[in-house]
Amino acid sequence: MEFRLTEEQEMIRQAARDFARNECLPGVIDRDERQAFAYDQAMKLAELGFMGVMVSPDYGGAGMDTVSYVLAMEEISKVDASVSVCMSVNNSLVAWGLEAYGTEEQKRRYLVPLAQGRKDGRLYIGAFLLSEPEAGSDATSQRTTAEDRGDHYILNGTKNWITNGSSASVYLVMAQTDPAKGSRGINVFIVEKDWPGVTVGAKENKMGIRGSDTHSILFNDVRVPRENRIGEDGFGFTFAMRTLAGGRIGIAAQALGIASGAYELSLAYSKQRSAFGKPISEHQAVQFKLADMATRIEAARLLCLKAAWEKDNGLDYTMSSSMAKVFTSETAMWVTTEAVQVHGGYGYVKEYHVERLMRDAKITQIYEGTSEVQRIVIGRQVLKG
């Protein structure tokens, strides 16, 4: 058993920490308030290689491991979870799926610029379109249809709550081709945002991660060339499940960062704020909170790193990624709530950051599979033995 990070992993963590402090912290409160997408920060992420962390250098990526990805996600999420979700979706839901299952032509055409995060000097990222107005947790109930017309498909339907909805150039869209086949009739397609019939719908006015652009996306008779289907006919649902297993490690790491960001702020605040004649950190009521925060965060970190390690070592990480996500997101909600409490009245106002972290934490229990869905996945794996 080896708990030490490699020199390269330490370097990546430091680079992400510097990026978060220097590029994300300035303006984070304002972006949250205005619901402004962090375009400049996303461009900088791309420049630093964080849009294609695990993608092979052969396809424009940084060629790093999943452990490094977790470390980078944690550091960025400590400061701005809106920036980190943009990074997470591009890395684990879009780039990973394309690299694992795309054809050589699909990889050259789409993966290379996605991993670089840029094309022609502009941001170039992706989005993952599975959720629908009536298909969230029940993901096999896809209403979006892709009618097979031989050399192309005709796509119709609506997708909801799409992260990177308006800033993405490329969408991976799950759609039902043959309803009689249920989940085996679902396909996944690479769709470009500017194709005729694609409309970016309303932007959601959200509780948290307000700096990420979440939209509905509408498809009206969109012609998708056959060569833009990923994998064999009917592979779409398996594609979504396998991709989400990795995505859940990214969201777990995001939740870990939100929790550790709130903890670090609470620790610092408790040392400089006095009450009853001494720093509040010297009151046992606060010390116990800090002790519980530190302990739960450490347990969450170990779950995230174990899931990442399993993925890096070619093991089945379905259960460990769900365990990491459910435990870490629940930890994030608990830690951030306590962080607001430690800060007292100051915690309830925006300048002290913890109220935003508390709002941001909530979504980690919902997206890329709710806590309830993670328990379904874990329960089934446990029963399989």
Q: Which is nearer to ligand CAA, 50 or 237 (CB)?
A: 237
Smallest distance from ligand CAA to CB 20, Å: 20
Smallest distance from ligand CAA to CB 97, Å: 12
Beta-bridge partner residues of 175: 187
Smallest distance from ligand CAA to CB 296, Å: 24
Residue 314 main-chain phi, psi, to 5 deg: 70, 20
Smallest distance from ligand CAA to CB 247, Å: 7
| Beta-carbon contacts of residue 328 (< 8 Å; ≥ 6 apart) | 252, 253, 255, 256, 259, 300, 303, 304, 364
Q: Which is nearer to ligand CAA, 153 or 161 (CB)?
A: 161
Q: What angle do CA 240, 45, 122 make, to 5 degrees?
A: 90
Q: Which is nearer to ligand CAA, 74 or 368 (CB)?
A: 368
Q: Which is nearer to ligand CAA, 64 or 162 (CB)?
A: 162
Q: Which is nearer to ligand CAA, 116 or 374 (CB)?
A: 374
Which of the following is catalytic: 310, 351, 368, 372? 368
Residue 309: Cβ within 10 Å count: 17
Is 368 among the residues known to form the active site? yes
CA distance 90 to 97: 10
Q: How far apart are the first and last CA of the chain?
A: 24
The two beta strands, 145-148 and 186-192, are unpaired
Report yes or no: 35 and 166 within 8 Å, Cβ to Cβ. Answer: no
CA distance 357 to 359: 5
CA-CA distances (angstroms) from residue 291 to 162, 287, 296, 345?
A: 37, 6, 9, 22
The two beta strands, 126-129 and 118-119, are unpaired
CA distance 98 to 75: 26
Smallest distance from ligand CAA to CB 339, Å: 24
SS3 content of the chain, % helix, strand, coil (to 5): 60, 15, 25
Helix or strand holding residue 320 (H, E)? helix 318-343
Smallest distance from ligand CAA to CB 203, Å: 14
Q: Which is nearer to ligand CAA, 83 or 373 (CB)?
A: 373
Provide the binding-site residues for ligand CAA, judged by CB under 6 A.
89, 93, 128, 130-131, 137, 139-140, 162-163, 183-184, 237-238, 241-242, 244-245, 318, 367-369, 373, 376-377
Smallest distance from ligand CAA to CB 120, Å: 25
Q: Which is nearer to ligand CAA, 11 or 376 (CB)?
A: 376
Closest CA to 95 of 12, 174, 172, 175: 172
Token pair of 302 as six digits: 């170990």
Token pair of 76 as six digits: 């960025």
Catalytic sites, residue numbers: 368
